[in-house]
Amino acid sequence: DQQVKQNSPSLSVQEGRISILNCDYTNSMFDYFLWYKKYPAEGPTFLISISSIKDKNEDGRFTVFLNKSAKHLSLHIVPSQPGDSAVYFCAASAIMNRDDKIIFGKGTRLHILP
């Protein structure tokens, strides 16, 4: 049973436009969420995170929004650039539960079109 779901296996966005990657979770104990980016033949790279006490966190072109009632988070990239083409993993953990495990979603492959 997947606790972290990324229902779109892939997404294509025109360069310069906004990319929106979505993630849903089922475990209400999750209180910390992270996004990782992965290029082929490389390990995942941390992008941005958000604690459950916030509903938005912004870092440059990247913004993560958290909707706790809907158990949904999204990553916005604006403007999208060619180098953003990669697989994006959503991840969640339950730090208040003293559970040090991070659960990853299956990932969404983002293609930025010229």
**Interface with other proteins, residue 42, by CB under 8 A:** yes
At residue 41, the 3 state secondary structure works out as: coil
* Per-residue burial over 84-94, b = 16 or more CB atoms within 10 Å of its CB, e = otherwise: bbbbbbbbbbb
Residue 107 and residue 47: Cα distance in Å, rounded? 14
**Interface with other proteins, residue 41, by CB under 8 A:** yes
**Interface with other proteins, residue 53, by CB under 8 A:** no
Residue 81 and residue 92: Cα distance in Å, rounded? 26
Nearest C-alpha neighbor of 74 from the set 90, 94, 54: 90
Least distance (Å) between residue 17 CB and other proteins:
26
Candidates 21-29, 57-65, 69-77, 97-105; binding stretch for other proteins (CB under 8 A) = 97-105
**Interface with other proteins, residue 32, by CB under 8 A:** yes
**Interface with other proteins, residue 70, by CB under 8 A:** no
Contact footprint for other proteins (CB under 8 A)? 4, 9, 32, 34, 36, 41-46, 49, 51, 89, 93-95, 99-107
